[in-house]
Structure 1
Amino acid sequence: MRDLPKVELHLHLEGAAPPSFVRGLAAEKKEDLSGIFSESGAYAYDGFVDFLRVYEAATSVIRTPEDYGRLVTTVLEELASQGVIYAETFVSPDFFGGGDLAAWREYLAAMEEASARAETRDGIILKGIVTPIRHFGPERAKAPAICAAETAGEWIVGLGMGGNEAVGKPGDFAWAFDCAREAGLRLTCHAGEFGGPESVRAAIEDLGVERIGHGVRAIEDLALVDDLAERGIVLEVCPGSNVALGLYPDWRAHPIEKLREREVKVTISTDDPPFFHTTMTHEYERLADAFGWDVADFAALNRVAAEAAFCDAGTRDKILKRLEAADV
């Protein structure tokens, strides 16, 4: 499973920072973040809202363009060790540069340079999806959307939205998504995680997205499930995250198999892997144990992910050829 070529579409850059990386930065900056770690050194939180608190605390020490370049290097080394050949990562100008376009360009350059080095070294390709933070509100979402629109191109390929689904409605953020769409960016949105199936429908109808981050609670509305299948909407499913945060009691109870059986396009990702004690290899192994999936199943899922990727056609062809070569 580790050596199987993998495509990951739902990965938060800051959420992929290993605890050791964050502790190292905190030590360099002489800041005390001991309250967000367990005795074993792992991230420690209680429930989703506390997870957001710990996440933002960890992110607070990742400040400079150099920090973000180092983070990209660290994350891509880990992904490459798990067989990932292509990944898309959520990046939030709110966390660096405060939505200022000039500052954002500096951070973006550092991330692009680190990505290019990793591609040369390990063959892994990374693209970025700019992500306003939902619980910061729709007005604050405008600056990240402008940053995305002004730097759309080779590396920035989409706009998404993360954060607390209990805050506001998807339609409140229509300006940000329209701005990104007009710039030619592809669109995704977190929904159907802690929000019910109605949040998935609203993201599709009010924001016009072609992918949904998580989306698993669509299973509670089979008419919606059939609509997802008919429209070809792709779900960026993160089973380990869903189990860790208590959406489902265990892997066998996760609805990814039922969604797939009803011909919904599903993909597999890790979300915030060190927070949930997971890797792409671990996700594959647990899904194989839970549902009896084999290498052919995962190869098919990776083809779905490659087709759903927001990259340009040339990059997609490159990914598909590497997947096909592994199937031979």
Structure 2
Amino acid sequence: MTIKSLPKVELHLHLEGAAPPAFIRGLAKEKHIDIAGIFNEEGSYRFTDFWNFLKVYEAACTTLTGPQEFYRLTLAVLEESAANGVIYSETFLSPDFCGNRDLGAWREYLHAIQEAAAKAQTDFGITLRGIVTPIRHFGPEKARETARCAVETAGDFITGFGIGGDEKSGELKDFLWSFDCAREAGLRVTAHAGEWKGPDEVRAAMNDLGAERIGHGVRAIEDMALVEEIAERGVVLELCPGSNVALGIYPNFRKHPIGEMYDRGVKVTINTDDPPFFHTTMTREYDMLNRAFDWDEAVFRKIARTALDAAFCDADTKTRLLNMLEQADG
């Protein structure tokens, strides 16, 4: 079995951030929206650093003006994921980009996304679940509106709540109301932390917000006591090595802390974050980690099991997916 064909489980994927550049260019042309400046001469997304990336990301989202665009986007993203062996994916969904946090509009967008997910499951064999995510730099008040959208649509498809955006904007504890609201509705919680701020931000996600998973969390490696605590508590890290390398946090895959964290017993998972922005796929992530750390199929199978155990889906779905992983084990 090749690395590409190994069944994979992805927990950290931004739906809008997974939009192929050609898809966004096509929508911009249809709608006569001028965002040519966000692309380079090769047609890829162009940005200089993480904060410029956020601006380019939001500019690309201006083409996604209705539920039908999100239907098309979801189908395109899931087809690409399935082509790289992903059997289950969780994607961050922001009501900020889906109806500007208006509950009625959010329901329409969500219905379109779910329809596309159902078609993708039939056509490509991939299962999708959604994690509603406020944008940190939009502030705590807008996050409350986002939380209300999450609570009102929690269920079989919307199973989690998180937070993304500019990690240097405000403090995680400012968003506690939104997280408590989501948790009371039965949603599982994760949080982006420890990508651009240090180990204390990972502690804040765990202790102030009660996050059971951490998006990125790589800066924990700067505090070995914290790494030990993460391992002991069984907190799962949604690691995105290609993203971290593309944004300059680490110079290459070999220098990425995923290897040491894995060796120290941390529950690590492999994810693509915003794949076309960072010129990656799940296949490439696996391939680069194989080269950097000489990981074999057994390691990747173990990591896929870790991801499935940490997935925010129901027991029946996990059982079905576990059977798929076991069948692939042969």
Query: Does the TM-score normalized on the shorter chain lie above 0.5?
Result: yes
Cα distance between partner residues in 1 of 2:120 and 2:154: 21
| 1:156 equivalent in structure 2 | 158
Quote how far apart the aligned CAs of 1:122 are.
Answer: 1.3
- For structure 2, the 5+ residue unaligned runs are none
Q: Which residue of 2 aligns with 1:16?
A: 18
Partner of 1:282: 284
| 2:231 match | 229
Alignment of 1:177-192 (within 5 A): 177-192=179-194
What amino acid sits opposite 1:143 in the alignment? E
Give the CA deviation at 1:235: 0.2
Residue 82 of structure 1: how far off its partner (Å): 0.4
From 295, 298, 309, the counterpart of 2:297 = 295
For residues 324 and 170 of structure 1, the distance between their equivalents in structure 2, rounded to whole angstroms, comes to 39
Unaligned runs of 5+ in 1: none
Q: TM (normalized to structure 1)?
A: 0.99
SS of match in other structure, 1:235: strand
Q: Are 1:141 and 2:143 an aligned pair?
A: yes
Letter in 1 for 2:93: V
Aligned partner of 2:36 in structure 1 is 34
Rounded to whole Å, the distance in 2 between the matches of 1:108 and 1:320 is 27
Which one of the candidate residues 157, 172, 196 is aligned to 2:174?
172
Name the amino acid aligned to 2:242.
G
Cα shift at 1:170: 0.7
Q: How far, CA to CA, are the matches of 1:304 and 1:63 in structure 2?
A: 36
Amino acid of the structure 2 residue aligned with 1:173 = F
CA distance in 2, matches of 1:118, 1:95: 22
Q: Map Cα deviations across residues 28-72 of structure 1 (whole Å, 9 max, x no partner).
A: 001111100000000000011000010000011111000000000
Supply the distance in 1 between the matched residues of 2:222 and 2:284 (Cα, whole angstroms): 27
SS at match of 2:177: helix
Give the structure 2 partner of residue 71 of structure 1.
73
User: Per the alignment, in what secondary structure is the counterpart of residue 22 of structure 1?
Assistant: helix
- Written as runs of structure 1 = structure 2, the 5 A alignment for 1:1-328 is 1-328=3-330
1:123 Cα shift? 1.1
User: What do you get for the CA RMSD once the two structures are aligned?
Assistant: 0.5
CA-to-aligned-CA distance 1:189-215 (integer Å, 9 cap, x gap): 000100111000001101011000000
CA distance in 2, matches of 1:30, 1:98: 21
What is the percent sequence identity of the aligned residues? 63
| Equivalent residue letter for 1:310 | F
Q: Provide the C-alpha distance between the structure 2 equivalents of 1:296 and 1:325, rounded to a whole number of angstroms.
A: 14
Q: Give 3-state SS (helix, strand or coil) of 1:207's partner.
A: coil
SS of the residue 1:126 aligns to: strand
The amino acid that maps onto 2:249 is: L
